[in-house]
Structure 1
Amino acid sequence: MVMLRAALLCLLALPALAELPAKSLEIIAEPTSPSIVVGEMIPVTLRGVYDKRATREELTLRPSDAFDWLPLAKDSWREERIEGRSVIVVERKLALFAKHAGLSRFGPADHRISFVGSDEQVLSSHPLELTIAPMPEGPPFHSPHGWRFAAGKLTIRDELSTDPAHLADGETVTRRVTLRAEGALPEMLPPRPVVSEPWLITFAAPVQRELELTPEGPVASVIWEWQFRPETGEPGVLPPVPIPYFNTVSRKVEQVEIPALPIGYASFAASQSAGGDLTAGSRWGIVGALAAGLAAGFAA
């Protein structure tokens, strides 16, 4: 009786084992939101499951006009037990970025592979189809700051070679701004802001764009560097520069800001204070008010 029951259990297990294909290849999307926007990073896994060890293989993706993409790490090969069967699993992690709104197709993938004891064969996956939403177009995505991109996190670092508000006569200050975006590609980040003031001599260094790959996705950076020297001794203020982006975590348009920058010679402020004219503090107060007005104008 016990042997009969064991035999019946084995027979019941056979259909389940038969449902597992000997070889399979698929593209699996793992979006972080049900509504993906243009330019948002989409985590994707190419996954192959095989019942034999491979002796030679090449995993490729067919060209796509709908997506930019890049691999995040080397292919992972491992043994797993699935539904009672020991199999070989290969995975490739990708980051996808849709170029256009609407229904978009990625793939298929092709795996040219030779197994132990068999000839080379080509396994193909089904293509991946995703519906992509357009990037929001409302404020603050408006002129003159109309560059639009998406990121999971955006940070800014503003570095100065010296105190720009108290320069020695003829001295130059170097400003270096680094914008760092998680879940974005370098070419997606905005162009360098234009700095042009009649009272300021400006030199701009070439733009640097960098890419770092992490298990969570790419991290893009852009570095802008300027050298500033006042044309005259009188101080001035560079207005703040807002940089809007679509936050893929909060699902809202947010912004970081390059702060306002007062620039002037220390000798000018000292001479004004000694001459009984406007003090340096009162002059900076007026300049700050003007900068605030400019910022309000940009935000309107």
Structure 2
Amino acid sequence: MTLIILTLTLGATLARAGVVEVPGGGLMRLELVLAPDRPQPVVGEMVVVTIRAVYDLKIANEKLEITAGSGFDWIQIKPDHWREEQIDGLPRIVMERELALWPKTAGLLQFGPVSHRLTVIDRQSQRQDIVVTAKPLSLSVGDYPPQRGWHFTAGALELSEELDGDPGHLADGQVLTRKIRLRALGALPEHLPPRPVVSENWLITFAPPPEKQLILTEAGPVAEVLWTWQFRPHTGEPGVLEPEEIRFYNSSTRKLDTVEIPALPLAYASFFTGQVPIGQILTSQKLLLALAALLALSAGLGFAAVWLLPPSGRAAWARLRARWNPALRRELWRARRGGDLLAERRLLAAMGLSQVRQARLDQAIYRRPGGDRG
């Protein structure tokens, strides 16, 4: 007798198995098995199903065909497992295949049908082609808990951070690379949330595409994503990237849960060694600021006093400014060095020299032949 069993139970509901009688003797059944006493899943929660086949005749060829329908994402999470078991006191060959299903919407969904196409060798050593089909099964799925933003579920969620430098003491012009790795047990990579957007006026940011992968473990499938950012502050002042929360439905606790990308301070070390941190002024700087303020006040008062003088006083002030004008004094030095007495007299007159000094210079220019200076 050939006996093939394929079992699916959803909660307390056991799907009706497909049954085929083999000509010449034998009965074949198909069932899909779900772990017993499991709570009602919510949208996006992983549901593990085991396909189980049991037979007592030789199998020359076999092919398992699964029609999941549009209401589920699904994958095979373990290789087919073949073994021999004693069933009803008789040796049987058992094959098991584990699937993981993720319902996409709430409500009553159908998974299936599942068909096993077999070529068996009966007791008369004849080959027979047989198809055993389990009818579609219904699964009641609850709504995802109310929450704003991205929705996804996981049995556990881990977050780790990697930095290639000290973010608070970067060298001038240094680019900091930050990597955030997110690992979700019981999820697919496409279920994970998008990378948080980092945009600050004081920061240049480059973000290569995320790296995603699916890892099959003994505990179940693990979805992993690696987010990478490269940061370079373009101002001298320090800044802080605020923490970022990632919310998910924890299928282990049956509650909404949160992991957090920690805050990240960014600053160049030179800001602290070459400047005083924001909000702090040293005693020496206070003295310099006071001196600068005093000089500015004195200059302002002096300017105002000049305009309050009578005309004769303002003229005297103008002559004093001309006498100490750096540009006029530089030209006077060049005239004397070059022996240009006319230019020298003109500059001395512009600088407000006394009439006596001008007369002496006139004698040097006009009374000697050739105008040589004496």
TM-score scaled to structure 1, two decimals?
Answer: 0.80
Query: In the alignment, what sits opposite 1:99?
Result: 104
1:126 alignment partner in structure 2: 135
More helix by share: 2
Matches within 5 A, 1:280-295: none
**CA shift for structure 1 position 278:** 5.5
Please list the CA deviations of residues 78-98 of structure 1 after superposition, one character each: whole Å capped at 9, or x if unmatched. 211112222221111111100
C-alpha spacing 1:210/1:276, structure 2 compared with 1 (3 Å): closer
Write the distance in 2 (CA, Å) between the matches of 1:278 and 1:174: 33
Residue 52 of structure 1 deviates from its aligned partner by 1.0
Give the structure 2 partner of residue 262 of structure 1. 265
Indicate the SS of the match to 2:253.
coil
Single out whichever of 120-129 and 183-192 deviates more from structure 2. 120-129
Query: Partner residue of 1:68?
Result: 73
Deviations 1:112-151 (A, max 9, x none): 00112331110111322110001111xxx32xxx111000
Give me the CA root mean square deviation.
1.8
Q: Which deviates more, 28-37 or 70-79? A: 28-37
Higher strand share: 1
Q: Does 1:244 align with 2:253?
A: no
1:210 aligns with 2:213: yes
Which residue in the other structure is 1:114 paired with? Answer: 119
Distance in 1 (alpha carbons) for counterparts of 2:57 and 2:163:
60
**How do residues 111-260 of structure 1 correspond to structure 2 at under 5 angstroms?**
111-116=116-121, 117=125, 118-137=127-146, 141-142=147-148, 146-260=149-263
Q: Percent identity?
A: 51
Q: Deviations over 1:204-257 (max 9, x none)?
A: 011111100123321000110000010101000000000000000011101000
| Structure 1 position 80 matched with structure 2 position 85 | yes
C-alpha displacement of 1:32: 7.2
Q: For the residues of structure 2 that align with 1:23 and 1:89, how far apart are their CA atoms?
A: 13
User: How many residues of Structure 1 are paired with residues of Structure 2 in the alignment?
Assistant: 253
Find the partner of 1:24 among 20, 29, 37. 29
Matches within 5 A, 1:2-21: none
What is the distance in 2 between the residues matched to 1:101 and 1:31?
A: 21
Q: By how many angstroms is 1:272 displaced?
A: 2.9
User: Any stretches of 5+ residues in structure 1 without a counterpart?
Assistant: 1-20, 280-300
**Structure 2 CA distance for partners of 1:123 and 1:275, relative to 1, 3 Å:** closer
**Residue correspondence of structure 1 range 48-59 to structure 2 within 5 A:** 48-59=53-64
Name which one, 1 or 2, has greater alpha-carbon Rg: 2
Residues in 1 aligned to 2:40 and 2:77: alpha-carbon distance in whole angstroms = 23
Question: In the superposition, relative to structure 1, how do residues 262 and 32 fare at CA in structure 2: closer, same or farther (>3 Å)?
Answer: farther
Q: Distance in 2 between matches of 1:77 and 1:128?
A: 25
Cα separation, partners in 2 of 1:235 and 1:278, compared to 1, 3 Å: farther
Match of 1:38 among 35, 43, 64: 43
Instruction: Give deviations 1:159-185, integer Å, cap 9, x for gaps.
Output: 001001100111110000000000000
More relative contact order, 1 or 2 (CA 8 Å, 6+ apart):
1
CA distance in 2, matches of 1:78, 1:262: 57
Alignment partners' CA distance in 2, 1:172 and 1:74: 45
